[in-house]
Amino acid sequence: MFLCTGNSARSQIAEALVTRMTGGEVEAASAGSHPKALHPNAVRVMRKRGIDIRGNRTKHLDEFVAQRFDMVITLCDRVREVCPEFPSHPRLVHWSIPDPALAAPGSRASYPAFERTATELEARIAFLLHLLNE
């Protein structure tokens, strides 16, 4: 489970990358503490990677509180502070990744920040998957 504040970019990107990188063998989900609409640059940066997320729905983390997860990864400091306790007592991991939507005003101007975010998430997820497979 990937959590961030808006579930509009970072967590959506991470969820899609895990699904792609594991061929669907690892079930990933994403949510936010204050969901917003899916950011167009998140859709663009994933489309560039051959992944279509434009139909994804943003979700509130309360939808998942009763579900079982092996791992919960918080992607921003704010959501880390409000992360609920999950009944399955998953392993909690925190990756402090800046919100790419705040990098520059305007949708098009912030695209490079989304590219950097996706690249960073890709590297972190690859490392995590490597550790989990050891």
Give the span between the Cα atoms of 77 and 4, in whole angstroms: 8
Residue 83 among the catalytic residues: yes
Instruction: Find the catalytic residue in 26, 83, 92, 103.
Output: 83
Nearest to 10 by CA among 73, 70, 61, 69: 73
Structure-token match 């939507």, residue found? 101
Instruction: Find the catalytic residue in 1, 3, 4, 118.
Output: 4
- In terms of Cβ atoms closer than 10 Å to its own Cβ (0-12, 13-18, 19+), residue 96 is exposed
**Residues 14, 24 contacting (CB under 8 angstroms):** no
Residue 130 among the catalytic residues: no
Residue 46 among the catalytic residues: no
Instruction: Find the catalytic residue in 18, 42, 43, 76.
Output: 76
Give the residue numbers marked as catalytic. Answer: 4, 76, 83
